[in-house]
Chains A and B, each alone.
Chain A
């Protein structure tokens, strides 16, 4: 794409643009803003004289240096600037129903409506679009909004437009925010390297880019370094190597983050299983379906809230959490009372019966909701991303990591500190003794299983944010969850935590080298071999009692 763009370079508009930018910077550096009447005239001329006329009018608008010009240019670029055929007046048109609402371009106020056919769009071509784009970059460098200034500096860094140099230098001189000033200097450095500056200035520019140290700087430095001769080239090569080394570290960091993120998903899926399988010894193949039902609960809650209380949409997840816990938990209790309690001490039969249950649950959901994926929206506070250094972190992943860890902490506290946790551990360790001490063991069994299932439901709420909500949701997690629990060591929640994070990170570290599928296979093979080496997992309890 990019080489083509340089072929299409057109000398004429570039020259004009350079002059325009000069004017702008002169105007902005303390000149009075042009009077409204001449501005109005210029706007009118946007719709006259074809492409050339439009271009000239753009030049006049830019020359005014008035920040109100920016939205007009944007409207022009977006194609919503229209001419009223009757009198040649220019409006920003917003389509509403059958007719267009007309907005005065300068004041931003609604100036009436137009029926179809009475208006005509101001025509655009690629040349004009480029002119506008560059002009907007220059204008926005002086915007009062720091975010816009930063964007403008970054845009110039990428485009390396030599004509923008004067504007950029002027903007840099006036810039107060050191972070933005740095970005402007970096953009300037790119221009320096692109142009025919002196050696010293170019060396300085290389140093600036080396400090920036990202992939884009690398792309600029690499051809310089490849030239192979002279001090500049050597400096560029040194900078390139330094940047590459640092980027590699960042990349490892990024993969670790992805790994932690995957690990937290595994943790969510496995943590309920760690209770039913790890603590109770019950192998529940329908565990994934408990997760799936939690996700469907989220979907239903979202739909209900959207229909009846649209203002609360952002909080539907908060409402879904307790409901998913309740739905999956109650289902779990019913399953324990109805099936599993007849199968205690027969893990293989439990495995088969719960597998059957998982088929029934999948089909039930499929029959009720249909086989297709259901859309569960991210609330606004979970969308988007931010950067730490060169790490890209999406909000939803971050929330899920935090959520998984808090859920883990909560569960740990529950098991360690509450009376129920004590009873649960008592029943697990010595059922007969616990029973003879007055603990109602059947009740504890049912509640423990309910707890494990309920947590699976909660996991479903979180997973609905990053995975497709379909009847097959659970199946994708069941083998992974078992791997995590077995790898970590059965009956040990810390093991589950460490197991999940380890497997997540290992998976994501292997992935860039082996590809996703092969990476997953390698992890599976690794676990198969690992289980054979340490059949009781990473954090196995050792002892006679455990073996018999």
Chain B
């Protein structure tokens, strides 16, 4: 096992909420540059897994290592984000009162502590990078638009754009196509593949068509641990997966 080579390494992670085991000895390895799809029925622990990786929820037991060395269980959300892990929520979460431009500016890799942000001026390079990202996430011309006024799909993309601006090494994406039209879904799959060229991605998704379109390794979560892993064809053929998830 080349643990040191893994980008993200989860070993025997357990999280309990009032006696309910949301995660039960979950182990998972993500390689650098990999895109992984996580599927599983409701309550399988997908979102809790994301919460543990990003520091929102503390694990009762187990290790979570980033780049082989950094123990994520000891850090808070902001520190983990600074390490290079970005997260997109299930419901699009952007800053509703800020313009598209400001949303991206806040996400842009750069100073995060109090005094530098108090004094930081806007640099030309930043402006340039924000224009590029707006191009990528198809929000060109909307720089001054207030984020709260965007459509649902546009918000999803703005949030992905913010993640791009953050320039993380690993991106966690929770149900990116929920509520999107077919065309938007296809475009999103395209976008994620594009993003995956430069960084690792973990996608949690219910939409099987979308997962098929992504065409990446799939982990099936069930009752807080990994039930099966492999290509979508491989896991779809697994009788246990059929039993708990796909079959009925």
Q: Report if A and B touch in the complex (beta carbons < 8 A).
A: yes
Q: Mark B48-61, 1 if CB is under 8 A from A, else 0.
A: 10010000110000
Size category of the B interface is under 10
Q: Please, how many angstroms separate the alpha-carbon atoms of A543 and B43 in the complex?
A: 12
B44, chain A: closest CB distance, angstroms? 13
- A541 touches B (CB below 8 Å): yes
| A543 / chain B contacts, CB cutoff of 8 Å | 17-18, 20
**Residue of A541, A542, A544, A547 contacting most chain B CB atoms (<10 Å):** A544
| A547 / chain B contacts, CB cutoff of 8 Å | 56
Q: Please, how many angstroms separate the alpha-carbon atoms of A541 and B20 in the complex?
A: 12
Q: Please, how many angstroms separate the alpha-carbon atoms of A544 and B17 in the complex?
A: 8
Q: Please, how many angstroms separate the alpha-carbon atoms of A544 and B47 in the complex?
A: 9
B64, chain A: closest CB distance, angstroms? 17
- Once the chains bind, are B51 and A542 in contact (CB under 8 Å)? no
Total of A-B residue pairs, C-beta within 8 Å: 13
- B22 touches A (CB below 8 Å): yes
| A544 / chain B contacts, CB cutoff of 8 Å | 17, 22, 47-48, 51, 57
- Once the chains bind, are A542 and B18 in contact (CB under 8 Å)? yes
| B57 / chain A contacts, CB cutoff of 8 Å | 544
Q: Please, how many angstroms separate the alpha-carbon atoms of A541 and B57 in the complex?
A: 15
| B48 / chain A contacts, CB cutoff of 8 Å | 544
| A541 / chain B contacts, CB cutoff of 8 Å | 18
Q: Which of A503-548 contact B (CB under 8 A)?
A: 541-544, 547
B55, chain A: closest CB distance, angstroms? 13
B93, chain A: closest CB distance, angstroms? 11
**Residue of B17, B20, B22, B51 contacting most chain A CB atoms (<10 Å):** B17
| B22 / chain A contacts, CB cutoff of 8 Å | 544
B185, chain A: closest CB distance, angstroms? 25
Q: Please, how many angstroms separate the alpha-carbon atoms of A547 and B15 in the complex?
A: 15
Q: Please, how many angstroms separate the alpha-carbon atoms of A541 and B19 in the complex?
A: 11
Q: Please, how many angstroms separate the alpha-carbon atoms of A542 and B17 in the complex?
A: 6
B221, chain A: closest CB distance, angstroms? 15
B192, chain A: closest CB distance, angstroms? 24
Which residue of chain A lies nearest to B20 when distances are taken between CB atoms in the complex?
A543
A189, chain B: closest CB distance, angstroms? 61
Which residue of chain B lies nearest to A543 when distances are taken between CB atoms in the complex?
B17
Q: Please, how many angstroms separate the alpha-carbon atoms of A547 and B17 in the complex?
A: 11
Q: Please, how many angstroms separate the alpha-carbon atoms of A547 and B18 in the complex?
A: 13
Q: Please, how many angstroms separate the alpha-carbon atoms of A458 and B56 in the complex?
A: 43
Q: Please, how many angstroms separate the alpha-carbon atoms of A547 and B51 in the complex?
A: 11
A91, chain B: closest CB distance, angstroms? 81
B11, chain A: closest CB distance, angstroms? 22
A546, chain B: closest CB distance, angstroms? 9
Q: Please, how many angstroms separate the alpha-carbon atoms of A416 and B47 in the complex?
A: 32
Q: Please, how many angstroms separate the alpha-carbon atoms of A541 and B18 in the complex?
A: 7
Which residue of chain A lies nearest to B56 when distances are taken between CB atoms in the complex?
A547
Q: Please, how many angstroms separate the alpha-carbon atoms of A543 and B17 in the complex?
A: 5
Q: Mark B123-145, 1 if CB is under 8 A from A, else 0.
A: 00000000000000000000000
B164, chain A: closest CB distance, angstroms? 25
A→B interface (CB under 8 Å): 541-544, 547
Given contacts A543-B17, A543-B18, 11 further A-B contacts (CB under 8 A): A541-B18, A542-B17, A542-B18, A543-B20, A544-B17, A544-B22, A544-B47, A544-B48, A544-B51, A544-B57, A547-B56
Closest A-B pairs by Cβ, 9 of them: A543-B17, A542-B18, A542-B17, A543-B18, A544-B48, A544-B17, A541-B18, A544-B22, A544-B47
- 13 CB < 8 A contacts A-B: A541-B18, A542-B17, A542-B18, A543-B17, A543-B18, A543-B20, A544-B17, A544-B22, A544-B47, A544-B48, A544-B51, A544-B57, A547-B56
